[in-house]
């Protein structure tokens, strides 16, 4: 498969706590579990989440040695373009699932959406814009 718009994308991130990350991304945002590998004898545990019809998925890993920790910056974003007002219930569900609403580092995202941090400090932006006018 060529490297073009039809290629699938995996976003891989380390996590401190896969159960906490799962609550945020699965119960909070509504992603589906696509694959899980539990840690055995020093292996990395991983959890792949996404929407089955999407061309991307999120892979969360847990380093068994504990030496690799998440190190997100305030501008490491995963942006979901909703194309409509951000539902207050979705934001509340993400907060109940371990997320924390934060001010965006770039004020553009405060104007066009809501920014939340997941339990590992990575930021999710729910944008009211749609992809075509971003």
> Is residue 23 one of the residues assigned to a domain?
yes
Please check whether residues 19 and 54 belong to one and the same domain: yes
Q: Domain check: are 14 and 51 in the same one?
A: yes
Range of the domain at 33: 9-62
The reported pTM is: 0.92
Are 52 and 86 members of one domain?
no
pLDDT in tens, 21-71: 999 999 999 999 999 998 777 788 999 999 999 999 999 999 988 888 999
CATH assignment of the domain containing 27: 3.10.180.10
Residue 84 in any domain: the answer is yes
Rounded Cα gap, residues 22 and 97, in angstroms: 9
Q: Greater confidence, 66 or 108?
A: 108
52 and 22 assigned to the same domain: yes
Residue with more model confidence, 7 or 48: 48
Does the residue 105 lie in any domain? yes
In a domain, 86, yes or no: yes
Domain count, the chain: 2
Residue showing tokens 């019809």:
53
Residue 103 lies in a domain: yes
Examine the domain organization and report whether 46 and 91 are in the same domain: no
Residues 6+ apart with CB under 8 A from 50: 31, 32, 34, 56, 57, 58
Q: Give yes or no for residue 133 having a pLDDT over 70.
A: no
């Amino acid at each position: 498969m060529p490297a073009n718009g039809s290629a699938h994308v995996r976003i891989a991130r380390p996590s401190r706590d896969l159960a906490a990350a799962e609550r945020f991304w699965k119960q909070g945002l509504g992603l589906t579990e696509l694959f899980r590998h539990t840690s055995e004898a020093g292996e990395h545990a991983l959890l792949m989440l996404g929407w089955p019809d999407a061309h991307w998925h999120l892979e969360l890993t847990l380093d068994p040695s504990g030496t690799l920790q998440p190190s997100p910056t305030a501008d490491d974003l995963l942006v979901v373009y909703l194309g409509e007002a951000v539902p207050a219930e979705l934001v509340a569900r993400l907060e109940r699932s371990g997320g924390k609403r934060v001010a965006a580092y770039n004020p553009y995202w405060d104007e066009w959406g809501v920014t939340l941090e997941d339990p590992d400090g990575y930021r999710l932006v729910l944008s009211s814009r749609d992809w075509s006018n971003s």
